[in-house]
Amino acid sequence: MSAKRKYNAVHEKDESQRFHSQLVPYSHSGNGRRKAFEILRAVAEDLFENHFRDIDHLKKPTTMRVPGSAKLSRQSFNIYFGADVIGTQHDDGTVERFAYATGTGASTIGIDASTLQINPLPEWFAELKDLIFESLVGDLARYKQQDYNGASVKIYYENPRLKGNEPNKTPWHCDVLYKKENGMPKKGNSQEPFSNVLIATFGGDKVLKFSRGAKKGMFQQKKTFEMRQCDTKFFVLDYRDEMFGNDGQKWWHASMMAKHNQGRVVISIMLRKIQSKVRVRMDDSRLAVIPCINSQEEVYWVSLRSKYKEDEEYKRHVHVIHQKFIETLQRRNPYN
């Protein structure tokens, strides 16, 4: 019996403490898996060609002492997409767009606001959503009832800049924050409260870690387990797991590449319902209004922006990452 099933068996009578999120396989038929692989590969190709190969940002999440290249960060590389808010196009070439990671979690991710892009929904968004919906049957059909209006992407790989060739990762967090005393959402959530997340991956395998506790880092070993996600299964993150239960605790999650990934890159695509909106320029999807920072910090960031891409070591490391990404895209469909 898996750790999840053992835990739920113990807490069967208390719904507030149970773990609801789960891995869901794509269609069991060979044709279904073959179709999923090709759709996911097409998504990954678009992400590489249009949102990763020629793009990098300065990044300073709360775990970093100084800003640095997002591609060479210890944390995953981030890409964001959102639907345009109907009727909000302005004469100056800007539009309101739903935007994840622009709420209270923005400082945790730490992307340079001057180069942050909230891209319009890509052509593959509807096709990927339909692919996942085909497998949400029976009791799982409830996850199709909400509107998904945006996507966030995390890209993981062995990072040649880190000692021991470590993979980058996403540290412990919750996507939506709720109040312990009454279960109501806190202010500043960019994701719609009480909404679920659908997570598809392509390339190597990814490990999703879950641990239960009242505060981040205050976890109990018997309430910690891992789930391994591959490109034959997607993951449903159920909003109930991020709410405090009767024990005053909730589920936190983290993610990283699985070991023995054969050097593959992992592309993780999360479909979300987003409530936060920002105004972006339609020509390049960058923020129309840059959040204010103090002048001393701005001078520091400007100096770094002009230097880091000219560094020869940076160029070598990024070339290695790009080659691994290309090799991952060239992988033969195992279901043909």
212 in Cβ contact with 14 (< 8 Å): no
The pLDDT score that the predictor gives to residue 61 is 72
Q: How confident is the model at residue 190 (pLDDT cuts 50, 70, 90)?
A: very high
The pLDDT score that the predictor gives to residue 322 is 97
Residue 149 belongs to some domain of the structure: yes
The pLDDT score that the predictor gives to residue 217 is 78
How many domains is the chain partitioned into structurally?
1
Q: How confident is the model at residue 14 (pLDDT cuts 50, 70, 90)?
A: confident
Please list, residue by residue across 172-203, b when 16 or more beta carbons sit within 10 angstroms of its beta carbon and e when fewer do.
eebbbbbeeeeeebeeebbbbbebbbbbbbbb
Residue 107 belongs to some domain of the structure: yes
Indicate whether 9 pLDDT > 60: no
Residue 116 belongs to some domain of the structure: yes
The pLDDT score that the predictor gives to residue 226 is 92
Q: How confident is the model at residue 292 (pLDDT cuts 50, 70, 90)?
A: low
Q: CA 259, CA 256: separation in Å to the nearest integer?
A: 9
Angle at alpha carbon of residue 258, lines to 256 and 262, rounded to 5°: 125
205 in Cβ contact with 258 (< 8 Å): yes
State the average pLDDT over residues 289-305. Answer: 69
State the average pLDDT over residues 269-298. Answer: 87
Q: How confident is the model at residue 111 (pLDDT cuts 50, 70, 90)?
A: confident
Other beta carbons within 10 Å of 86 = 8
State the average pLDDT over residues 219-248. Answer: 91
Using DSSP, state whether 327 is helix, strand or coil.
Answer: helix
Residue 40 belongs to some domain of the structure: yes
State the average pLDDT over residues 110-122. Answer: 91
pTM over 0.85: yes
Residue 248 belongs to some domain of the structure: no
In the chain, pLDDT over 70 holds for what percent of residues?
A: 89
Residue 265 belongs to some domain of the structure: yes
Indicate whether 163 pLDDT > 90: no
Q: How confident is the model at residue 105 (pLDDT cuts 50, 70, 90)?
A: confident
- Give the residue numbers spanning the domain of 33: 23-205+229-239+261-329
Indicate whether 1 pLDDT > 60: no
- Reference 26, options 231, 256, 314; nearest CA is 231
Phi and psi of 163, rounded to 5°? Answer: -60, 135
Residue 68 belongs to some domain of the structure: yes
3-state secondary structure 273-289: CECCEEEEECCCCEECC
Give Rg (Cα) of the chain. Answer: 20
